[in-house]
C-alpha cells in the first residue's frame, strides 16, 4: 500500500561516514555550486532511488514498491513493507530511527470494469470534501488538495502513467485505476509519532493509515451519492436500499417491503416503492453505480490487509 516515500537523514557522527561513501558512489551524479564555487549539493541515484546530498545531510526519495519489487504496479501489504524497510536500511546502512519521513504515499490500484476516466469524471462532477480543493488534469488525473498541499488524494489512470514511463505492462491488463493518499510534513505527524521510518514497523500505524485512506473515499462516496441537497431520513433510507441491492444482490422490492413494515407504515408502501424506482434511475443515470464498484474494491483491499 505504501509506495512513494521521501526520507531525510541529518549528518552527524553516526551517519557522516555513510553519507560520504554514498557521495562517492552515486550514479548519474550532478554537482551544484554557488556563485563563489562552493559545492552546494550532489544529486544522483543509488539502489534505484533518488539521492541528494547537502551540507545538512542526505535525502532519499522514490517508489519504495519499485525499489523492493522492481515495479510500482505491485501492491505491498504490511509484511512486504517490513521487508522493504529492512532492505532499505541494509542498502544505505542507516537505521530506521535515523530516517525522518518527509512524504508518504499510501494507495492501491484496482482493475475496474470501465475505463478509469469514467470514475474520475463521476468523482469530479459530484464528489466533495470540505477544506479540499479539486483539480482535474487532462481528464485522467483528479486531485483533492488541502491548503499548503500537505494532504492530497489522487485518482489516476495507472496504465497511462506506466506507458508514459515506458514501464512493462502485463499482458491483458486493462482499466487500472489507482487511488492514493499523499501526506507531507505536518500531515504525517498524527500517524507517525516520531516521524521516523521506525513508526512504519508498527502494524497499528499501518492500520491507521489504511483506515484514513478508506474514510476519505467514504466521504467522497457520500457526497457523490447524494442526489438531492437535503439529507433527510428518506434520502438515507433510499441510499441504504441502493447500496445493499448493488453490493449484495438484495431484491429492491423485498427491501422496500421491509422498510414499509419497520419505518414508514402501511399507508406509504406505494409511495416508497415509487421513490425507490426513481432513486435507482437517478443513480444509474448519474453514474454513481461506478463509484459503488470502486467502493467495493477499496473495502475488499482493506479487509485483505
Q: Sorting pLDDT into bands at 50, 70 and 90, what band is 125?
A: confident
Q: What is the pLDDT of residue 271?
A: 60
Strands (E), the chain: 2-10, 27-33, 39-46, 49-53, 57-63, 100-111, 132-137, 141-146, 151-157, 176-184
Q: Which triple of cell numbers denotes residue 213? A: 485512506
Give the full edge-to-edge strand order of the sheet including 27-33: 27-33, 39-46, 49-53, 57-63, 2-10, 100-111, 176-184, 151-157, 141-146, 132-137
Instruction: Find the farthest-apart pair of alpha carbons in the chain and give their distance in angstroms, rounded.
Output: 87
Report the C-alpha gap between 134 and 224 in whole angstroms.
Answer: 14
Report the C-alpha gap between 46 and 90 in whole angstroms.
Answer: 13
Q: Which of 67, 122, 111 is nearest to 91 (CA)?
A: 67
Report the C-alpha gap between 91 and 100 in whole angstroms.
Answer: 17
Q: What is the pLDDT of residues 172-207, one digit of tens each?
A: 778 999 999 999 988 998 999 999 999 998 999 999
Rounded to an integer, the average pLDDT of 74-95 is: 90
Report the C-alpha gap between 186 and 10 in whole angstroms.
Answer: 18
Question: Rounded to the nearest 10 degrees, what angle do helices 203-225 and 116-126 cross at?
Answer: 70
pTM of the model: 0.76
Q: Sorting pLDDT into bands at 50, 70 and 90, what band is 12?
A: confident
Report the C-alpha gap between 206 and 181 in whole angstroms.
Answer: 13
Q: What is the pLDDT of residues 49-62, one digit of tens each?
A: 999 998 888 999 99
Q: Which of 246, 252, 256 is nearest to 293 (CA)?
A: 246
CB atoms within 10 A of CB 81: 19
- What percentage of residues in the chain have a pLDDT greater than 70? 79
Amino acid at each position: 500500500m505504501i509506495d512513494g516515500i521521501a526520507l531525510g537523514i541529518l549528518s552527524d557522527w553516526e551517519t557522516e561516514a555513510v553519507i560520504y561513501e554514498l557521495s562517492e558512489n552515486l550514479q548519474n551524479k550532478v554537482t551544484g555550486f554557488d556563485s563563489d564555487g562552493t559545492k552546494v549539493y550532489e544529486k544522483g541515484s543509488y539502489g534505484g532511488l533518488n539521492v541528494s546530498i547537502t551540507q545538512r545531510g542526505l535525502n532519499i526519495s522514490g517508489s519504495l514498491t519499485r525499489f523492493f519489487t522492481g515495479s510500482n504496479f505491485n501492491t505491498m501489504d504490511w509484511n512486504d513493507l517490513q521487508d522493504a524497510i529492512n532492505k532499505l536500511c541494509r542498502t544505505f546502512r542507516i537505521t530506521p530511527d535515523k530516517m525522518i519521513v518527509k512524504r508518504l504515499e499510501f494507495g492501491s490500484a484496482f482493475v475496474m470494469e470501465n475505463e478509469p476516466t469514467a470514475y474520475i469524471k463521476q468523482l469530479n462532477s459530484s464528489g466533495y470534501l470540505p477544506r479540499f480543493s479539486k483539480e482535474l488534469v487532462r481528464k485522467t488525473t483528479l486531485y483533492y488538495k488541502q491548503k499548503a498541499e500537505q494532504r492530497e488524494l489522487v485518482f489516476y489512470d495507472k496504465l497511462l502513467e506506466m506507458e508514459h514511463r515506458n514501464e512493462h505492462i502485463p499482458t491483458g491488463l486493462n482499466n487500472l485505476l489507482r487511488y492514493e493518499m499523499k501526506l507531507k510534513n505536518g500531515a504525517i505527524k498524527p500517524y507517525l509519532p516520531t516521524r521516523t521510518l521506525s513508526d512504519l514497523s508498527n502494524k497499528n500505524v499501518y492500520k491507521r493509515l489504511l483506515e484514513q485512506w478508506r474514510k476519505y473515499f467514504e466521504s467522497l462516496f457520500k457526497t457523490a451519492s447524494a442526489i438531492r441537497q437535503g439529507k433527510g431520513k428518506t434520502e438515507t433510507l433510499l441510499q441504504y436500499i441502493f447500496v445493499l441491492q448493488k453490493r449484495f444482490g438484495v431484491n429492491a422490492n423485498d427491501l422496500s417491503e421491509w422498510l414499509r413494515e419497520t419505518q414508514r407504515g402501511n399507508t406509504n408502501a406505494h409511495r416508497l416503492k415509487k421513490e425507490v424506482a426513481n432513486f435507482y434511475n437517478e443513480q444509474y443515470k448519474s453514474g454513481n453505480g461506478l463509484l459503488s464498484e470502486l467502493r467495493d474494491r477499496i473495502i475488499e483491499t482493506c479487509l485483505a490487509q
